[in-house]
Amino acid sequence: MNDKPAKKPSKYQARQPDAYGFIHYSDTEHSTWQTLMQRQLGMIEGRVCQEYLDGLERLALPEDRIPQLMDIDRALLESTGWQTAQVPALIPFNTFFELLASKRFPVATFIRTPEELDYLQEPDIFHEIFGHCPMLTNPSFAEFTETYGKLGLAASKEERVYLARLYWMTVEFGLVDTPAGRRIYGGGIISSPKETLHSLSDVPAHHPFDPVDALRTPYRIDILQPLYYVIDHLRTLHDLANRDIMALVHEAMRLGLFAPTFEPKQAANA
Ligand SMILES: C[C@H](O)[C@H](O)[C@H]1CNc2nc(N)[nH]c(=O)c2N1
Ligand SMILES: N[C@@H](Cc1ccccc1)C(=O)O
Ligand SMILES: [Fe+2]
């Protein structure tokens, strides 16, 4: 399957906290964070949704160094009762949904190298914190994410793969049409300077969001997305959480997957 987390070995290794829960990074790593922050802060105005900007203000992320998870936790706990959870890398769906269901968001504690600043094929700490944590300070979005985690936890293995696609097309790579124009809310776009520009350009397809369509859309995690689903309002996600999502999953399973619009991924051992 193309949309399972990649099994290929990564050159990256997550940092472990010391006895005081503090994670140490090198000067180069802090300066990578700083470059990414400066680049993205200049880019997001007029491109990301207001709810994200409000969340970013709430988090008050440092610009010159990689933040510590305890500092992020303080802001998240205070706004929505969420917390981070330190993880080694991309984690499997079952562990992922389990964390979300308990209001903990996985953070892989390594940062990309300067060569991969604009786009990285796996989640790093800049993606998890800058990409996802601002939206998690929004009560309605946080509630949607928690509900989604609970659904994923209760789902069968096959259903879970469908749920992962809808998650991908919304929380990771979602766009929203607002009165001010089209805006980004997906964390996978916001952490990548390259995808930030690509997602709003004429290159990819933009389809009006339909949950069953999103459930049926195969994806690859390691390329700029060829297709984005656009919601009309962030409320759409919250409303979705109050619908029978599993019935939609079963409908999607009955209809089957759409043909991919991308090249298949080369097998790691090919
Ligand atoms: C459901 C889905 O594939 C999703 O994008 C997940 C999977 N595993 C992950 N693992 C980590 N560390 N961080 C993430 O954001 C995700 N996202
Ligand atoms: N492509 C994202 C990271 C990412 C990889 C895979 C899944 C989700 C996010 C970035 O460059 O920031
Ligand atoms: Fe993510």
Angle at 89 between CA 23 and CA 259, to 5 degrees: 155
* Ligand 1 proximal residues by C-beta, below 6 Å: 5, 87, 90-91, 93, 96, 106, 108, 123, 128, 164, 167-168, 172
Residue 147 placed within a domain: yes
Of 256, 238, 241, nearest in space to 147 by CA? 241
Q: Which amino acids are annotated catalytic?
A: 127, 132, 172, 191
Three-state DSSP class for residue 195? helix
Residue 145 placed within a domain: yes
- Measured from the CA of 92, which atom of ligand 1 is nearest? 8
State how far the alpha carbon of 34 is from the alpha carbons of 114, 180, 236, in Å: 11, 29, 34
State how far the alpha carbon of 87 is from the alpha carbons of 14, 21, 78, 109, 135, in Å: 7, 14, 22, 7, 20
pTM: 0.95
Q: Are 105 and 133 in contact (CB under 8 A)?
A: yes
Residue 140 CA to residue 131 CA, distance in Å, equals 17
122 lines ligand 2 (CB under 6 A): yes
Residue 248 CA to residue 60 CA, distance in Å, equals 38
Residue 18 placed within a domain: no
Residue 261 placed within a domain: no
State how far the alpha carbon of 236 is from the alpha carbons of 144, 207, 211, in Å: 10, 15, 10
- The alpha carbon dihedral of 175, 180, 181, 183 has a sign of negative
Q: What is the pLDDT of residue 1?
A: 46
Q: How many domains does the chain have?
A: 1
Residue 196 placed within a domain: yes
Nearest ligand for residue 224 CA: 2
Nearest CA to ligand 1 atom 5: 168
- ipTM comes to 0.96
CATH number of the domain where residue 209 is located: 1.10.800.10
Q: What is the pLDDT of residue 200?
A: 98
Residue 4 placed within a domain: no
Q: How many CB atoms lie within 10 A of CB 266?
A: 7
Residue 89 placed within a domain: yes
Tens of pLDDT along the chain (270 residues)? 445 555 567 889 999 999 999 999 999 999 999 999 999 999 999 999 999 999 999 999 999 999 999 999 999 999 999 999 999 999 999 999 999 999 999 999 999 999 999 999 999 999 999 999 999 999 999 999 999 999 999 999 999 999 999 999 999 999 999 999 999 999 999 999 999 999 999 999 999 999 999 999 999 999 999 999 999 999 999 999 889 999 999 999 999 999 998 888 876 544
Residues bordering ligand 3, an ion, CB closer than 5 Å = 187
Residue 10 placed within a domain: no
Nearest ligand for residue 187 CA: 3
* Domain enclosing residue 236, as ranges: 27-255
Of 46, 38, 20, 49, nearest in space to 174 by CA? 49
State how far the alpha carbon of 261 is from the alpha carbons of 32, 113, 135, 168, 205, in Å: 33, 30, 29, 16, 10
Nearest CA to ligand 1 atom 2: 164
Which of 128, 192, 198, 224 maximizes ligand 2 atoms within 8 Å of its Cβ, making it the mutation to test the pocket?
A: 192
Nearest ligand for residue 166 CA: 1
Residue 211 CA to residue 215 CA, distance in Å, equals 6
| Tokens 């990074």 sit on residue | 25
